[in-house]
């Protein structure tokens, strides 16, 4: 099929919830993707920060093939070795205690909300009027619970009523968060690095201040590491830069490097909040998904992925600084590791479209920010290629 034929077929039968770019991708290799007509693209989007290991990785593919031949699914009525190992891997990597596997990021957030409510319900003798503080311009997913804590009126508008007792505060404004804490606050939730909101890392003062506030008032600190976690920041989880541990952490995206899997992970304080019957998922943690996560943990070590993020992330940072200096339409550059953003004074849609046309996949974060979230195995030569395409497009604007 041609790109156009795939597009026509898709648009006949899919609900139109996405304005997709006009290409149909067919296969991938390393950090490149190919469309159905054979055109090659350098990938700086990684399936939205998912494909950390890149494409067509032999050891990863083999681990999945082996697991498919053995066992794909059995439900959570039984134990499996891949699930047990994945939980141990994630607990160790996060420094937290216990894991619940989900199928997506939004479900990880749902679980974290349930942990917070149950923790407070136990503590307050069955009271059910607890509040959660979340951040303006945050993004936590599209199901109704996670949409309720997503600080964007635009996403929420048509779907009200959402879940009750969510209070929004300004990200990186500790005084604002503190002023919104009440006796009923059971959790403070935020992304360690805001992704969809425009690539804003939390400040050290903010993270440590919230940790202190939560300790003083017995509130759960919930960190959403769905996008910034699994090595993207240069540490396995971005909170590891701040000398804190959250009480609950949500992961997904790169956790399976392409196979749908997410998780919420609880620390000591909330490790017994959920008990048998409180939560469940038919697919959650199935052998195929957890075999993928185990392969990811193995390959991160074997390929020294974190070292690469730090080295190539620093190089990308320097190159994007140069772009900012060269082009007056760029007004800010921020980020950590291989999660960086360039903010423009103009909408970035045409710039992104131009880069795709010229063989480089980029994505935006909001209307004015280009987001750079490539595979974590990318090399400096790929950064150079991307910068060349980007500059070429900016010169024609
Ligand atoms: C992508 C994302 C989610 C939602 O994950 P899904 O797998 O799309 O449900 C939640 N939080 C953050 C920070 C994300 O980037």
Instruction: Write the pLDDT tens digit of every residue in 74-106.
Output: 999 999 999 999 999 999 999 999 999 999 999
Assess whether the C-beta atom of 195 lies below 6 angstroms from ligand 1.
yes
- The tokens for 260 are 């749908």
Q: How far is the CA of 40 from the centre of ligand 1 (A)?
A: 27
How far is residue 90's CA from residue 323's CA, in Å, rounded to a whole number?
Answer: 37
Note the pLDDT of residue 268. Answer: 98
For residue 333, the cross-strand partners are 342
In this prediction the pTM is: 0.98
Contact in structure between 228 and 195 (CB atoms under 8 Å):
yes
Assess whether the C-beta atom of 105 lies below 6 angstroms from ligand 1.
yes
For residue 131, the cross-strand partners are 185
Give the nearest ligand 1 atom to 105 CA: 5
- Could you tell me the CA-to-CA distances from 186 to 6, 130, 172, 177, 197 in Å, in that order? 48, 6, 19, 13, 24
Strands 25-29 and 32-35: antiparallel
Note the pLDDT of residue 125. Answer: 94
Residue 88: CB partners within 8 Å, gap ≥ 6?
none
Q: How far is the CA of 173 from the centre of ligand 1 (A)?
A: 23
DSSP state of 338: T
Q: How far is the CA of 38 from the centre of ligand 1 (A)?
A: 30
Mean pLDDT by 10 residues, the chain (397 residues): 98 97 98 98 98 98 98 97 98 98 98 98 96 98 98 94 98 98 98 98 98 98 98 98 98 98 98 98 98 98 98 98 98 98 98 98 97 98 98 96
Identify which of 47, 113, 135, 140 to mutate to test ligand 1's pocket (most ligand atoms within 8 A of the CB).
Answer: 140
Note the pLDDT of residue 44. Answer: 98
Q: How far is the CA of 223 from the centre of ligand 1 (A)?
A: 12
Note the pLDDT of residue 100. Answer: 98
Contact in structure between 22 and 3 (CB atoms under 8 Å):
yes
Atom 15 of ligand 1, nearest CA residue: 227
Identify which of 50, 232, 253 to mutate to test ligand 1's pocket (most ligand atoms within 8 A of the CB).
Answer: 253
Assess whether the C-beta atom of 131 lies below 6 angstroms from ligand 1.
no
Atom 5 of ligand 1, nearest CA residue: 105
Note the pLDDT of residue 65. Answer: 98
* pLDDT per position as a tens digit, 254-304: 999 999 999 999 999 999 999 999 999 999 999 999 999 999 999 999 999
Q: How far is the CA of 69 from the centre of ligand 1 (A)?
A: 30
Assess whether the C-beta atom of 226 lies below 6 angstroms from ligand 1.
yes
Assess whether the C-beta atom of 224 lies below 6 angstroms from ligand 1.
yes
- The tokens for 230 are 């699994």
- Could you tell me the CA-to-CA distances from 174 to 171, 206, 211, 222, 372 in Å, in that order? 8, 5, 11, 15, 28
Assess whether the C-beta atom of 110 lies below 6 angstroms from ligand 1.
no
Assess whether the C-beta atom of 256 lies below 6 angstroms from ligand 1.
no
Residue 95: CB partners within 8 Å, gap ≥ 6?
240, 245
Q: What are phi and psi of 347, to 5 degrees?
A: -60, 140
Note the pLDDT of residue 315. Answer: 99
Q: What are phi and psi of 14, to 5 degrees?
A: -95, 145
């Amino acid at each position: 099929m041609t790109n156009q034929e795939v597009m026509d077929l898709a648009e006949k039968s899919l609900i139109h919830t996405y304005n997709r770019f006009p290409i149909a991708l067919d296969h991938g290799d390393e950090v490149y993707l190919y469309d159905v007509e054979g055109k090659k693209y350098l990938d700086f989007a990684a399936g939205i920060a998912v494909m950390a290991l890149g494409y067509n990785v032999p050891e990863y593919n083999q681990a999945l093939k082996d697991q498919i031949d053995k066992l794909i699914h059995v439900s959570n009525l039984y134990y499996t070795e891949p699930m047990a190992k994945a939980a141990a891997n994630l607990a160790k990597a996060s420094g937290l205690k216990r894991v619940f596997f989900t199928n997506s990021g939004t479900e990880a957030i749902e679980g974290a909300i349930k942990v917070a409510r149950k923790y407070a319900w136990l503590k307050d003798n069955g009271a059910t009027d607890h509040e959660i503080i979340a951040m303006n311009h945050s993004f936590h997913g599209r199901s109704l619970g996670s949409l309720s804590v997503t600080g964007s009126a635009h996403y929420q508008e048509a779907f009200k009523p959402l879940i009750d007792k969510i209070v929004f505060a300004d990200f990186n404004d500790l005084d604002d968060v503190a002023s919104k804490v009440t006796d009923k606050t059971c959790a403070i939730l935020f992304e360690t690095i805001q992704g969809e909101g425009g690539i804003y890392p939390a400040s050290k003062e903010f993270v440590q201040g919230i940790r202190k506030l939560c300790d003083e008032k017995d509130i759960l600190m919930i960190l959403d590491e769905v996008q910034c976690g699994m090595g993207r920041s240069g540490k396995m989880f971005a909170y590891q830069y701040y000398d804190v541990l959250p009480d609950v952490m949500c992961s997904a995206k790169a956790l399976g490097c392409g196979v749908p899997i997410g998780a919420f992970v609880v620390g000591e304080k909330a490790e017994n909040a959920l008990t048998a019957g409180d939560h469940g998922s038919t697919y959650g943690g199935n052998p195929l998904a957890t075999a993928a996560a185990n392969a990811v943990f193995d390959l991160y070590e074997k390929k020294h992925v974190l070292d690469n993020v730090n080295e190539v992330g620093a190089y990308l940072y320097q190159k994007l600084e140069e772009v900012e200096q060269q082009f007056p339409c760029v007004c800010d550059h921020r980020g950590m590791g291989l999660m960086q953003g360039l903010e423009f004074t103009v909408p970035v849609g045409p710039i992104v479209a131009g880069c795709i046309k010229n063989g480089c996949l980029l994505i935006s974060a909001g209307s004015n920010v280009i987001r750079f979230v490539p595979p974590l195995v990318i090399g400096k030569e790929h950064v150079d290629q991307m910068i060349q395409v980007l500059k070429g497009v900016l010169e024609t604007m």
